[in-house]
């Protein structure tokens, strides 16, 4: 299947700093990528839909100024958690659309904010 | 057996037995469904999918059943192995999701395989 690479896999940062997470489609072009957030023992919650060359579409309740999404190319989308606080600690996962319905997921990023 | 509460529903099975994981979906207009397996600390892994014009689809050791009347989806795993231990999620794409393929995930079930 298609490969989606997500980096870093784990990041620890101090409260108030910003963290950038990258999501790359390695062997295909992804016009659409998705960002999910997952708390322990819970399901994946869609945060936003990232469209190449246009603004991201955020789900209700997700602060667009806090979670900045950039999809500058067909193979790269980034999620920046700005001024991170302990409550932002979570597992963040991206997925990419190959153009068909089947989505492929990155390996996730565990963010811990101290 | 299964348990539901503040934690993920858990299904405990003996190695070699068959497992059945259930999922109730919310949107009667959804026309595409997927089962994912998620191991601890990893992203979801595609297992099998089914469209709404089908009621059954088989893969290698897995079968997905779809009952649109009661909006119910199930995943059957034959001869469950320790490597099958993971959290399993059903996901649906609502009709009209179109090119965005916006996936809506279910709550998940933790499958624990006892040796």
Best mutation target, A34, A44, A56, to test chain B (most B CBs within 10 A): A44
Q: What is the pLDDT of residue B6?
A: 45
Best mutation target, B91, B92, B103, B107, to test chain A (most A CBs within 10 A): B103
Is the CB of B43 inside 8 Å of chain A's CB atoms? yes
Contact B52, B45 (CB under 8 A): no
How wide is the angle at C-alpha B49 spanned by C-alphas B72 and A35, nearest 5°? 95
pLDDT of B4 over the 50 cut = no
Residues of B within 8 A of A1 (CB-CB) are: 46
Residues of A within 8 A of B49 (CB-CB) are: 101-102
Q: What is the pLDDT of residue A103?
A: 81
Q: Do B103 and A106 touch (CB under 8 A)?
A: no
Q: Is A32 left (phi over 0), alpha (psi -120 to 50) or beta?
A: beta
The mean predicted confidence, pLDDT, of chain A is 92
Is the CB of B40 inside 8 Å of chain A's CB atoms? no
Name the stretches of chain A with pLDDT < 70: 1, 99-101
Determine the distance in angstroms separating the CA of A13 from the nearest CA of chain B, rounded to an integer.
19
Is the CB of A23 inside 8 Å of chain B's CB atoms? no
Q: What is the pLDDT of residue B3?
A: 33
* CA distances for A53 relative to A6, A21, B42, angstroms: 20, 18, 29
Q: How confident is the model at residue B100 (pLDDT cuts 50, 70, 90)?
A: low
Q: How confident is the model at residue B97 (pLDDT cuts 50, 70, 90)?
A: low
* CA distances for B109 relative to A9, A51, B41, B65, angstroms: 24, 31, 16, 16
pLDDT of B5 over the 50 cut = no
Q: What is the pLDDT of residue B96?
A: 58
pLDDT tens digits along A53-84? 888 999 999 999 999 999 888 899 999 999 99
Q: How confident is the model at residue B104 (pLDDT cuts 50, 70, 90)?
A: confident
pLDDT tens digits along B18-45? 999 999 988 888 889 999 999 999 999 9
Of B82, B7, B41, which Cα lies nearest the Cα of A105?
A: B41
Best mutation target, A21, A30, A39, A41, to test chain B (most B CBs within 10 A): A41
State which H helix or E strand residue A63 sits in.
none
pLDDT of B77 over the 60 cut = yes
């Amino acid at each position: 299947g298609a490969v989606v690479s997500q980096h870093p896999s784990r990041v620890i940062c101090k409260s108030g700093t910003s963290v950038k997470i990258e999501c790359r489609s390695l062997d295909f072009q992804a016009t659409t990528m998705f960002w999910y957030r997952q708390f322990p023992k819970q399901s994946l919650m869609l945060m936003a839909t990232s469209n190449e060359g246009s603004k991201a579409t955020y789900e209700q309740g997700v602060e667009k100024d806090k979670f900045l999404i950039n999809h500058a190319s067909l193979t790269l989308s980034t999620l920046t958690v700005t001024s991170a606080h302990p409550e932002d600690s979570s597992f963040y996962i991206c997925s990419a659309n190959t153009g068909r319905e089947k989505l492929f997921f990155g390996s996730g990023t565990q963010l811990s904010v101290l | 057996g299964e348990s539901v509460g503040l934690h993920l529903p858990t299904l405990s099975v003996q190695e070699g037995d068959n497992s059945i994981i259930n999922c109730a979906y919310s949107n009667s207009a959804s026309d595409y469904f997927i089962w994912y397996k998620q191991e601890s600390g990893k992203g979801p892994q595609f297992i099998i999918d089914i469209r709404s014009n089908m009621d059954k689809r088989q893969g290698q050791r897995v079968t997905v059943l779809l009952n649109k009347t009661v909006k119910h989806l199930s995943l059957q795993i034959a001869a469950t192995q320790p490597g099958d231990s993971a959290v399993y999620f059903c996901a649906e794409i609502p009709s009209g999701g179109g090119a965005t393929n916006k996936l809506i995930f279910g709550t998940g079930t933790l499958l624990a395989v006892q040796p």
